[in-house]
Amino acid sequence: MQYFTPVENLLRNSENFGDKVFLHQPINGQWHKYTWTDVEQQARCIAAGLQAQGFEQGTKIGILSKNCAHWVIVDLAIMMAGMISVPIYVTANRVTIDYVIKHANIKAIFVGKLDDMVESESAINHDVLRIALPYPTIPAQVNFSDWLAEHSPLIEIHHGKINETATLVYTSGSTGPPKGVVLTYKNMAAVAQCLATTFNVTKHDRAMSYLPLAHIVERSNSCVALYSALEVYFVESLDSFLDDLHYAKPNSFISVPRLWTIFQANVLSKVSAAKLQLLLKIPFVGPMVAGKIRKALGLQCAKWFVSGTAPIPLALLQWYQKLGITISEGWGMTETAGASCVSYPFEQQHLGTIGKPLACVEMKLSAENEILIRGDSVFSEYYLDSKNTEEFFSDGWFCTGDCAQVDEQGIYTIVGRIKDKFKTSKGKYVAPVPIESLLCTNTDIEQVCVMGSGLKQPVALIVLKQSIAKKDIVTEKALRSTLQWVNQQLESHQKVDYLFICHEAWTIENNLITPTLKIKRNVIEQEFNALIAKEITSDIIWQ
């Protein structure tokens, strides 16, 4: 397959659809449009600004900002200047930001919309040039708008070779310091072009960008947009999310399990689960109700839906299917430049699976049922980390750490992470993810973590949806019923001893989930180990 870099895609689209809008950015409630020509010219000006600093080819340039049109523009500008982008999560703390800047030897950093400006500013030394995007942000030596005025568009741009390093993407660091994944233009192009082909994406499609662009999922989505010439709408803030979604009316919607759960909770806050289920079964009424819910969510025009980054409960997928929201589950890693497997086209019998591998990769299972992968999208090294590089590769295959099952049709189902398995005091190993999926059939449960290393039986820590009052009798009865039903599905050594209801949600701020909204099992275990290690006599415990 012939691969095209993001810059090549930009230049082609600018030539063919110069006046067509590429990026839509809301600022203070007003929508600003950037055509393909606008994006190319602005990227060339910013590239000229970078080169004017005397930075050599291959210099690492950071990007620390929430999603916005300018994030994409500066990413392209860095490529045009022959430099390497290093995205950083805006939710990262001072220690992590400082680590990434020093580890990657970042010489300049674009800063934009941030949540914690004090934390971010304290992490960036004064010897790193700060370039402010046109939003309220931390103090910077120069700014994006000035560079547009001061620098003419760069004529002789860098055309990166397909095997050249395009970016360093640091993992979210759920179990230690983040690792710098070296991704080439080929890695990124392979995923983008395979996804565009799989979903038949065209220039007539519209997508929303709201997940962190520092994360590989949203980054690969931007590469799909560049390859397919589709329009991208950004979200201004969480407060404006639904309004922005209604304005964009996207054809596709990609989210993560945590957000799909929140969307479900918002629906159920307006109509009870029992009433909704009853309405959906009524002929004529059911489709009308489902259509109204999709419209209320801003998803009435979406033709495909995807969930990724972490396992999503089967019950949640089934709940959305009744609304006509047929979610395809995808699987991939930073190390594979994004999605490597996706269950699309949607087929009900494959619900809960991640489907088949994309054409750009090969996958197989090891003797321990670990997914091994290789192909054009798979990275070749961790930055300045030969030890981990050597440890995670075996005979040319990358050892993902994810456990799976594969059927005779070649369809994969994720069953958890190898390192997530734990051994009870009875010497039996337990995989938590399947149990967590069963527990989530109860729509009152928003977050769950099954643990039990050294305990006689597993224990489930859960967070209930915000609307539930503490020690609600009706809720407790329903939870007890769920626990009994779940335990009936499990082998004796897997049965959950009790449910421990946490009084506080797990958030990025309290360090219990990653910037990509995956739970930090090791941190949660440390946080709650002393509480669950006690001898418990009840099957429901409220913190």
**What is the three-class DSSP state of 432?**
helix
> For residues 132 and 142, what is the distance between their CA atoms, to the nearest angstrom?
6
> For residues 296 and 277, what is the distance between their CA atoms, to the nearest angstrom?
18
Q: Sheet holding 60-64: strands in order across?
A: 142-143, 129-132, 108-111, 60-64, 84-87, 165-170, 180-184
> For residues 169 and 135, what is the distance between their CA atoms, to the nearest angstrom?
24
Helix (H) or strand (E) holding 389: helix 386-392
**Residues of the chain scoring pLDDT < 50:** none
Asked if domains 6-186 and 252-300+303-418 share a fold, the reply is yes
Rg from Cα positions in the chain: 24
> For residues 410 and 251, what is the distance between their CA atoms, to the nearest angstrom?
29
**Residue 385 DSSP class:** -
**Residue 115 DSSP class:** S
Q: How many residues does the chain have?
A: 543
pLDDT of residue 1: 86
pLDDT of residue 469: 65
In this structure, which topology does domain 6-186 adopt according to CATH? Rossmann fold (3.40.50)
Phi, psi dihedral angles at 414 (to 5 degrees): -75, 135
Bond preceding residue 345 cis, omega within 30 of 0: yes
pLDDT of residue 173: 59
CA 413 to chain centre: 19
Task: Read off the pLDDT of residues 225-279 as tens digits, 9 standing for 90 and up.
Answer: 999 999 999 999 989 999 999 999 999 999 999 899 989 989 998 999 999 999 9
**Which candidate, 59, 512, 439, 8, places its Cα nearest to that of 261?**
439
Q: According to the CATH classification, is domain 421-542 in 3.30.300.30?
A: yes
Structure tokens at 518: 């995956």
Which residue's structure tokens are 């934009």? 112
CB 311 within 8 A of CB 257: yes
CB 363 within 8 A of CB 413: no
Helix (H) or strand (E) holding 307: strand 304-307
Phi, psi dihedral angles at 533 (to 5 degrees): -75, -15
CB 310 within 8 A of CB 280: no
Rounded (10°) CA dihedral 257, 6, 252, 441: -10
**Which candidate, 337, 357, 390, 396, places its Cα nearest to that of 165?**
337
DSSP code per residue over 67-105: S-HHHHHHHHHHHHTT-EEEE--TT--HHHHHHHHHHHT
CB 259 within 8 A of CB 297: no
**Which candidate, 252, 140, 149, places its Cα nearest to that of 201?**
252
> For residues 219 and 115, what is the distance between their CA atoms, to the nearest angstrom?
20
pLDDT of residue 203: 96
Rounded (10°) CA dihedral 6, 8, 14, 16: -120
CATH number of 252-300+303-418: 3.40.50.12780
Residues 6+ apart with CB under 8 A from 31: 24, 25, 247
**Residue 353 DSSP class:** S
For the chain, give every domain's residue range. Answer: 6-186, 252-300+303-418, 421-542
pLDDT of residue 149: 97
Rounded (10°) CA dihedral 370, 371, 372, 375: -170
**Residue 378 DSSP class:** S
Indicate the pTM of the whole model: 0.91
pLDDT of residue 317: 95
Structure tokens at 410: 């070649």
pLDDT of residue 174: 57
Taking residue 524's Cβ as centre, other Cβ atoms within 10 Å add up to: 19
Which residue's structure tokens are 């990227």? 43
**Which candidate, 162, 165, 170, places its Cα nearest to that of 186?**
162
Rounded (10°) CA dihedral 20, 17, 251, 409: -170
Query: What does the buried/exposed string (b/e) look like for 349-358 if buried means 16 or more CB atoms within 10 Å of the residue's CB?
Result: ebbbbbbbbb
Task: Read off the pLDDT of residues 32-76 as tens digits, 9 standing for 90 and up.
Answer: 999 999 999 999 999 999 999 999 999 999 999 999 999 999 999
**Which candidate, 75, 73, 63, places its Cα nearest to that of 38?**
73
**Which candidate, 151, 158, 186, places its Cα nearest to that of 59?**
158
Phi, psi dihedral angles at 374 (to 5 degrees): -150, 160
